[in-house]
């Protein structure tokens, strides 16, 4: 009958208080098969593209992205936070197991004189003339003790659930940092190439204008041009020169930004990035997938969902504190008044101490803690709902902007082709003697202006492509192994 209570304890140990977590179904559109702003060019599912920047086919951009993966400071910070969270999970798992200690003890005591006999000696006497003795005590002990708290109502299990969900949330945060980083690098690189191209064309345009100014002044001397025409062209030259300086500053800023993003000091990448290269173009087909897979892939949505799961589990931790706690402690030791007693097995002592505690009079403290944690859980649920709807809006907005930008790019490309044709005709007419050199140079300058506009349009479209990839949660393979099934949409370029 000594162990008749064990079945009851095991039954209580199977209890887990607090709400069980179920992933909420927030947005009805999450189950939709296509995006509203995807247009009419949806194609069948294709393979997932985590490293979407490779579709630009620019080896320098690929190098920057890979370097930043391990050298970026934000990635380092997020990785350290993930390690902390995983260590916290290991700690919660260890807390569910017994705690054991090995200890050795030496005690020496000096007690005041007594009339009860002597363990020691003294020359003092009391008021009755009886000999009083001072007690001297030595005690040696070596032993082992263990303690364990039975998880009667599942508080420790809920704590482990919360720690596991929190670690997964930090893993999603790391993915989010990587997704954001990959987009920032790509956009900075695109903007750098655009500024470099426009700076080179602005300098070429300034040289053409100066050559035109020389010809116009010659005509003014000959009486075939007016002073007003000369003054107007002088103003155009000054305006072109004024536009060159800001472009130089922007180029240097993007060089510095890219260096810092990959974990280097400003200027470290100048040798790599200074040679001019074309502005990268997005691919002809763009992977988009569907809203449901978007929500399973977006790191910020996964982080918000895992945070909600963690806060839900913590309600169970708070509720378990309302109920009794049962713990066991055991002590085994060897010892006595002599050092050799710690090696004498006949001096073994053992102690078993079951302990039941219950805070029955807390004046509502535990209820307040439960209400407080329930409020934290409700806040996390609102944040999750906001993350879901924000992710859907981000994707739809990015699709809409990218679709509009493709049409602007197509118009800019046609305008440049028209300017090239006009320049070719002007050159032919000049060589045939039917057009002045100044008019031919002006046609070339107009072509440069159209090329600058096309460069800006290309950069804008490529940046919108990057924003679209970021909104879809692409950038690095998900830590949690999220489904990354996708569809494709043509870019019309």
In order of their start, the domains of the chain are 18-96+153-322+365-490 (1.20.1600.10), 98-115+136-150+324-357 (2.20.200.10)
Question: For residue range 19-58, what is the model confidence (pLDDT) as tens digits?
Answer: 888 888 765 454 566 777 666 444 435 445 578 899 999 9
Q: How far apart are the first and last CA of the chain?
A: 84
Torsion over CA: 365, 368, 373, 376 (sign): negative
**Cβ pair 58, 280 in contact under 8 A:** yes
Q: How far apart are CA 424 and CA 411, in angstroms?
A: 20
Alpha-carbon span 170 to 177, nearest angstrom: 10
Q: How many CA atoms lie within 13 A of 275 on its CB side?
A: 3
Q: In the chain, what's the furthest Cα-to-Cα distance? A: 145
Q: In this predicted model, what pLDDT tens digit does every residue of 62-109 receive, in sequence order?
A: 999 999 988 888 888 988 998 999 898 888 888 888 888 888 877 777
Question: What is the rounded CA–CA span in Å between residue 142 and residue 144?
Answer: 7
Give the pLDDT of residue 117.
Answer: 46
Say if residue 335's pLDDT is above 90: no
| Contact assessment for residue 316 and residue 366, using Cβ atoms and an 8 Å cutoff | no
Nearest Cα neighbor of 425 from 415, 439, 411 is 439
Among the listed ranges 142-151, 154-163, 458-467, which one has the minimum average pLDDT value? 142-151
Other CB atoms within 10 Å distance of the CB of residue 187: 20
CA 315, CA 19: separation in Å to the nearest integer? Answer: 7
192-204 mean pLDDT: 91
258, with CB counted inside 10 A (0-12, 13-18, 19+), is buried
Helix 437-471 vs helix 365-431: crossing angle, to nearest 10:
160
Q: Please give the Cα distance from 488 to 476 (Å, whole number).
A: 19
Q: What is the mean pLDDT of residues 442-468?
A: 90
d(CA 423, CA 7): 95
3-class DSSP state of 326: strand
> In a 3-state reduction of DSSP, which class is residue 148?
strand
Nearest 10 degrees: CA dihedral of 154, 155, 157, 163? 160
Q: 10 Å Cβ neighbour count for 2?
A: 5
**Is it the case that residue 229 has pLDDT exceeding 80?**
no
* Position 482 pLDDT exceeds 50: no
Per mean pLDDT, which range of 198-207, 328-337, 401-410, 468-477 is the poorest?
Answer: 328-337
Mean pLDDT of the chain: 81
> What's the confidence (pLDDT) of residue 478?
61
Please state the rounded mean pLDDT for residues 455-476: 89
DSSP structural state of residue 176: H
> 106-141 pLDDT, tens per residue?
777 777 776 544 444 444 555 555 555 677 777 777
Q: How many CB atoms lie within 10 A of CB 245?
A: 11
Minimal CA–CA distance to 178: which of 66, 283, 84, 259?
Answer: 66
Any idea which of 251-265, 316-330, 430-444 has the lowest mean pLDDT?
A: 430-444
pLDDT for position 274:
93
pLDDT at 22: 86
> CA 477, 32, 183: angle at the middle one, nearest 5?
35
pTM of the full structure: 0.79
């Amino acid at each position: 009958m000594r162990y008749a209570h064990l079945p009851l304890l095991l039954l209580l140990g199977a209890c887990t208080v607090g709400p069980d977590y179920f992933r909420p179904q927030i947005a009805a559109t999450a189950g939709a098969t296509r995006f509203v702003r995807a247009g009419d060019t949806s194609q069948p599912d294709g393979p997932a593209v985590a490293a979407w920047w490779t579709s630009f086919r620019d080896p320098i951009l690929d190098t920057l992205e890979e370097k930043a993966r391990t050298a970026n400071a934000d990635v380092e910070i997020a990785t350290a936070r993930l390690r902390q969270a995983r260590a916290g999970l290991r700690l919660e798992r260890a807390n569910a197991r017994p705690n054991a200690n090995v200890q050795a003890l030496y005690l020496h005591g000096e007690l005041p004189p007594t009339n009860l006999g002597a363990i020691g000696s003294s020359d003092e006497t009391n008021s009755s003339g009886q000999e009083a003795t001072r007690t001297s005590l030595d005690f040696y002990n070596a032993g082992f003790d263990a303690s364990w708290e039975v998880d009667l109502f599942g508080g420790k299990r809920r704590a482990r659930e919360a720690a596991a969900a929190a670690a997964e949330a930090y893993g999603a945060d790391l993915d989010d940092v990587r997704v954001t980083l990959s987009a920032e690098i790509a956009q900075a690189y695109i903007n750098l190439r655009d500024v470099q191209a426009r700076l080179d064309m602005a300098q070429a345009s300034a040289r053409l204008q100066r050559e035109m100014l020389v010809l116009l002044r010659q005509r003014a001397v000959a009486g075939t041009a007016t002073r007003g025409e000369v003054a107007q062209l002088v103003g155009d030259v000054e305006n072109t020169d004024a536009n060159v300086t800001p472009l130089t500053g922007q180029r240097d800023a993007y060089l510095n930004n890219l260096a810092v993003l990959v974990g280097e000091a400003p200027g470290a990448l100048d040798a790599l990035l200074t040679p001019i290269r074309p502005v990268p173009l997005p691919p002809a087909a763009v992977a988009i997938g569907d809203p449901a897979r978007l929500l399973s892939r977006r790191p910020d949505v996964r982080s918000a969902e895992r945070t909600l799961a963690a806060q839900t589990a913590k309600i169970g931790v708070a509720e378990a504190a309302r109920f009794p706690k049962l713990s066991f402690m055991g002590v085994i030791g060897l010892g006595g008044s002599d050092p050799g007693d710690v090696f004498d097995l006949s001096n073994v002592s053992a102690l078993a101490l079951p302990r039941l505690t219950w805070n029955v009079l807390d004046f509502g403290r535990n209820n307040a803690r439960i209400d407080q944690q329930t409020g934290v859980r409700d806040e996390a649920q609102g944040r999750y709902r906001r993350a879901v709807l924000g992710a859907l809006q981000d994707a739809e907005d990015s699709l809409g902007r990218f679709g509009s930008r493709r049409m602007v790019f197509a118009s800019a490309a046609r305008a440049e082709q028209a300017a090239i044709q006009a320049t070719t005709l002007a050159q032919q007419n000049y060589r045939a003697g039917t057009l002045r050199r100044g008019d031919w140079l002006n046609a070339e300058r107009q072509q440069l202006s159209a090329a600058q506009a096309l460069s800006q349009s290309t950069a804008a479209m490529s940046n919108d492509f990057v924003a679209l990839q970021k909104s879809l949660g692409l950038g690095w393979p998900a830590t949690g192994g999220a489904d990354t099934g996708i569809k494709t949409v043509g870019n019309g370029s």
